[in-house]
Chains A and B, each alone.
Chain A
Amino acid sequence: MSIKAFELVPAIERLKLMSDKARTQIECIDVCGKNLYIGTNDCFVVHYILEGRPTQAGRLAFHSEKQGHKYLALKKPIDQLKAASALNRILVLCDHTLTLLNMMDLEPVMSGAKVKGVTYFCLNDNPVRGNPFSVEVCVALKKKQIQVYTITEDRIIHVKDVSIPEQANQIGIDGHFICAALASQYCMVNFETGQIQDLFPYDSESTKPVVKRISKEEFLLSGPNALGMFVTSEGISQRPPMQWSDNLLGVSYVHPYIVSLNDEFITVHSILDQQQKQAIPFQGGSTIGDFDGRVFISSAKEIYALVPVAWEKQVQALLADKRVQEALDLAKNANHAGLSKDKFLKIYRRFQQQAAFIEFSQQNFDEAKELFKEGKVDVRELISLYPGLMPSSSNFTRSIPVLHEIADINNLSKDNDEMKKDYKRFLRNYLEEIKGTTDGHGFKQVIDTALLKLYAEINWPELIPLIAVDTGCDLKDSVEWLEKYERYHALGLLFKYHGENDKAMQIWARLVNGEIKDELFPGLQFVVEFLSNINDPELVWKYIDWALEKDQELSVKIFTERPSNEPPTERFRPETVIDYLHRFPKAVIAYLEYLIFQKKLEKEKYHTHLAVLYLDSVLQLMKNNNVKKEHLDNARSKLRHMLQLSNMYRVQLILGKVKEQDMHAECAILYGKLEEHDKAMRILVHKLKDYVAAENYCFVNSQGKDPTYRKRLFHILLGVYLDPNNERKDLLVTPAVELLNRNVTEFDTAKVLQLLPENWSVQLVKQFLSQTVRKSMNFQRTVRIERMIARGENLWVKEACIAMQKSPVQMNDDKMCAVCNRAFSDPTFVRYPNGVITHVHCAKNKHVCPVTGKLFSICSKNS
């Protein structure tokens, strides 16, 4: 857990002043800007100017020059020194007396202001009163009291006394709050209210009390068992304690580090995680202090500066130790003074990138992924770690200075295949995630190519969508790779995407032929779809033979499922195609079906052709005896459907063939087409005995024609049923009666009655008769109502007309046409219902008033 946060640099070696007096020792120091003050054990205050200069090696070296010294003539050690630059004074505590010296010539102030009986004092860095030319000082007295003073250039003004239960050894002040180490415990004193809050006890035998203000309203105290305790002015702790070592002498704070001094070591803890970060062996240290963010340490004779190592260097060192989280925490929390936000972000991002590769090299993939994203790592840096994954055309070189020292993943995984797979899986996930996002912006080709290669290697199903949809893959490179891993279907798709359809087809043809294999290949279906959608007649004709030989019915889709927006071309003219398809009977049928039923082409030739082909296939099946009945029925129903639906074929031609084979149902349809309904129905009734079909026939053949035509057909049917010349007419009584009674259509009752045989009882046709009577009654009544309504309306209109015409219109010379404003010369004129009078030729529209634009509707009551 070590880190080099500070370097110990000598500031003043071997105090020159005391060369003659060997016993002289440093008691206390203070640094204010370039001024360094030393208080000695033999009552001297010494003033140095100290300047830090960077050496050639990039380190800091100190140069010091003595300015002067002052002997206070008390023969007592100087206990405390504190420069107050705002007042140009030094506060000196010697022999329990607090006095003021001039900062430059070290002379006592003229007024001689002093406070006596002081054991310890401290300045308030967060003063309550805002006068910039005064400082607030808190002093602990020998008696059980704490006092607060305001000090100006030459005066010490008493502000407040607070009595405390014991004498205070050490105090710290922030705002109203004084944290004091009493003889046996710490307490928090509010000097405004005088309230005292006990914190915790300590053993003064084993623990030197330390009170260090570290930030607003927070103090750091040395607790029992060498614990560093954080306490807020509310008397509670908001950070866990720190473990220090024994014999603590003093503490300093430079964010984010707490530096503590004991007799053997300088120890550095982080305030972020309270852990020890660095220990520097240092014997004989006596005081430690931080002055405006600079830490100085003194031994008896020497003064050292603790120079912080630049945080960038610290982070770099942590990264070198692969302590990623610590490094990033430090980078985030370090003092970014002198860096603009952008600049810091840039530096921080670079650390993140380095961290990402460290996590990556340790297979902490989740962390790595986050860092790669946050650090906005150039994705090529990552891909280039995988041998062969970069497009060969890429001339990418890794960034300099290097982000990592990884040669490639083979090196990382040390030929451990599992690990290599993990690395590849990681890259795949990562690329999938950044693909299409801003992170992947500008690297589409690199990312897609890498993904393609990864997919190809493990035969991942995502390969196909990757290639099919807007791929940025490098063609040459990918082809090689896909061939290497035998991903032929993907290869075909890639060719297709790059417009090399011929090459694509070559591959797919080989796949269909089984010369090469790829389990992702969907089969001939796919090729057919491809060919049917491609706007390249050459290619289609090149492969059509091959496709049709593979599967006629499927391949004919190449012709039938052309894209709807394809312009008609000479190469795909129906005649050409049909001529070509001659060899493939199934394909021809499918193609003709397409032309007729889908394209609705009304060409006699196609219709007849298809009908003949259907018929042929039926005949073929009929010849073959052991054909299943369903097959035959299916073929025949197809034929019938076609015959019924189409009106374009040559009926006579088909009829001739059909008659030969006794295909009655077909005959009936054909007769129907020829309007020889009597014949057709006789076949249906006598030969097929299918009465439902006969009725159906009437409906089907009268479709789209006027109702009387249907009526006529039903009469013919009834005639067929009741034909007196038929020997078996008794058999047909039932369907005839049913036909009548079911009231499927209107019959001409008079004609029906004539047709009915004499011997039928009324009971038999009762239903029919009653319905007929009812119907005619209804008809009569309806007509009557209609007539009456019409008459009423007529009267109404007449009335309105009269009402409109009854007022006379007087015409004289003064009357002008409302439209052209000229006089009337003819005896004729037009008057609108609203009284506007115009010439006849000026009245353009009799329903619209030419002046007001009012619309006169014909049946409106108002007009």
Chain B
Amino acid sequence: MTASSADKRKADLKVIILGDFAVGKTSLICRYIEGKFRAHETTIGAAFFLKQWGSYNVAVWDTAGDEKYTGLQSFYCRNAGAAILAFDLNHESSFESLWARFLPLLDNANEDCLKVVVGTKLDMLQPGSREVTQEEARRFAREINSNLDQKKLDRDPYFETSSKTGMNVTEMFEFIYQYCLPLSEDKKISSLATKRTSASTSTVDLNKPAVSAPQRTKCCFR
């Protein structure tokens, strides 16, 4: 029983990856978790990875792109704090099904779920083989996140990645964590902030003009 309870360690963030069949979802996650690229069998139903990020536990759910599992995917989307919508840069149809098939599934996810659009197989891009332009993907990414606080998004949630070379993979996950994790624990931030301010007052800055100095002179003059 110990193991099952250990497995159930409460994850601080649930990240789910969605996207058409064979766009490279499992490869993307394995590249991130294991740091290497290898061929994968078709995912059955879903797969699950646990990642430590600082003091946080992040559960990364890999879903099957096969259409027969569509019913399960919305179930796996439940409570997701971030979703990766993956498409193949070389296939426009995979981009279109993001909007048609996968976006509605995210109704089950958290209301403030961050939706990151990710183009995969960047390394396979030949001149002329690109079927999805950066501009339209970027626009799509902006649109679907319009309900979020735009101030917190320091860039468009759109990445073009290659699991083979590892390009942009870690950056993309870091972007998600930066956005999602510090936010979900406001306390942590505030405690950190107070710590910082108290630290700044306890250090003596010789170059800074002392605040109490003018008061004292006043007193002396009196």
Contact = CB atoms under 8 A, between A and B. Distances in A.
Interface of A: 199-202, 215, 218, 223-225, 227, 229, 231-232, 234-241, 243, 255-256, 271-272, 332-333
Contact of A243 (B4, B45, B68, B78): B45
Give the interface residue-count category, chain B: 20 to 34
Interface of B: 1-4, 7-8, 14, 44-48, 59, 68-69, 71-72, 74-76, 78-79
23 contacts: A200-B71, A200-B72, A201-B71, A215-B1, A215-B4, A218-B4, A224-B68, A224-B72, A229-B75, A232-B8, A236-B14, A236-B79, A238-B7, A238-B48, A238-B59, A239-B48, A240-B45, A241-B45, A241-B46, A241-B72, A243-B45, A256-B3, A271-B4
Nearest to A224: B71
Given A223-B45, A224-B71, A237 B3 contact: no
Given A200-B74, A333-B3, A237 B46 contact: yes
Given A202-B71, A236-B79, A272 B45 contact: no
B47 A240 contact: yes
Nearest to A255: B1
A692 B7 CA distance: 92
B115 to A, nearest CB: 19
B130 to A, nearest CB: 34
Nearest to B43: A240
Contacts of B72: 200, 223-224, 227, 229, 241
| Cβ-closest 7 pairs across A and B | A241-B45, A200-B75, A333-B3, A240-B48, A201-B71, A227-B45, A236-B78
A199 to B, nearest CB: 6
A241 B62 CA distance: 11
B44 A255 contact: no
A178 to B, nearest CB: 17
Contacts of B1: 215, 255
B95 to A, nearest CB: 26
B69 A224 contact: yes
Given A236-B14, A241-B72, A256-B3, 14 more contacts: A223-B72, A224-B71, A224-B72, A227-B72, A229-B72, A235-B75, A235-B78, A236-B79, A237-B75, A238-B7, A240-B47, A255-B4, A272-B3, A333-B3
A225 B64 CA distance: 12
B45 A332 contact: no
Contacts of B68: 224-225
Nearest to B76: A237
Contacts of A237: 46, 75-76
Nearest to B48: A240
B44 A241 contact: yes
Contacts of A202: 71
Contacts of A200: 71-72, 74-75
A227 B73 CA distance: 13
Contact of A225 (B8, B69, B75): B69
Contacts of A240: 45-48
A125 to B, nearest CB: 14
Contacts of A332: 3
A793 B74 CA distance: 107
Nearest to A185: B71
A229 B45 CA distance: 9
A256 B3 CA distance: 9
A276 to B, nearest CB: 12
A20 B168 CA distance: 75
Contacts of B79: 234, 236
A243 B44 contact: yes
A199 B46 CA distance: 15
A319 B47 CA distance: 27
Nearest to B77: A236
A256 B7 CA distance: 13
A240 B16 CA distance: 13
A2 to B, nearest CB: 19
A514 to B, nearest CB: 56
A332 B14 CA distance: 28
Nearest to B10: A238
Nearest to A241: B45
Nearest to A270: B3
B185 to A, nearest CB: 20
A486 B72 CA distance: 72
Nearest to B9: A238
A227 B4 contact: no
B70 to A, nearest CB: 9
Contacts of B48: 238-240
B45 A225 contact: yes
A201 B75 CA distance: 9
A241 B44 CA distance: 8
A227 to B, nearest CB: 5
A218 B5 CA distance: 11
B3 to A, nearest CB: 4
Nearest to B78: A236
B42 to A, nearest CB: 11
A166 B145 CA distance: 36
Residue of B1, B45, B78, B79 with highest tally of chain A CB at under 10 A: B45
A239 B71 contact: no
Nearest to A271: B4
Contact of A239 (B7, B69, B75): B7
A397 B47 CA distance: 48
Contacts of B14: 236
B89 to A, nearest CB: 28
Residue of A225, A255, A333 with most chain B CB atoms under a 10 A cut-off: A225
A190 B221 CA distance: 75
A255 B4 CA distance: 9
A73 B47 CA distance: 51
B71 to A, nearest CB: 4
A670 B75 CA distance: 110
Contacts of A243: 44-45
Nearest to A214: B4
A254 to B, nearest CB: 12
B75 A199 contact: yes
Contacts of A256: 3-4
Contacts of A236: 14, 75, 78-79
A232 B4 CA distance: 12
A459 to B, nearest CB: 38
Contacts of B69: 224-225
Nearest to A217: B8
A231 B69 CA distance: 16
A271 B1 CA distance: 11
B210 to A, nearest CB: 45
A201 B73 CA distance: 11
A390 B79 CA distance: 61
B17 to A, nearest CB: 13
Contacts of A232: 8
A290 to B, nearest CB: 15
Nearest to A199: B75
Contacts of B2: 333
Contacts of A333: 2-3
Contacts of B74: 200
A240 B47 CA distance: 5
A237 B14 CA distance: 11
A513 to B, nearest CB: 59
A435 to B, nearest CB: 34
Contacts of A234: 79
Nearest to B45: A241
A667 B145 CA distance: 104
Nearest to A203: B71
A712 to B, nearest CB: 62
A67 B83 CA distance: 60
Nearest to B72: A200
A256 B76 CA distance: 24
Between A218, A234, A236, the greatest number of chain B beta carbons within 10 A of the residue's beta carbon is seen for A236
A211 to B, nearest CB: 15
Contacts of A215: 1, 4
Contacts of A235: 75, 78
Contacts of A229: 45, 72, 75
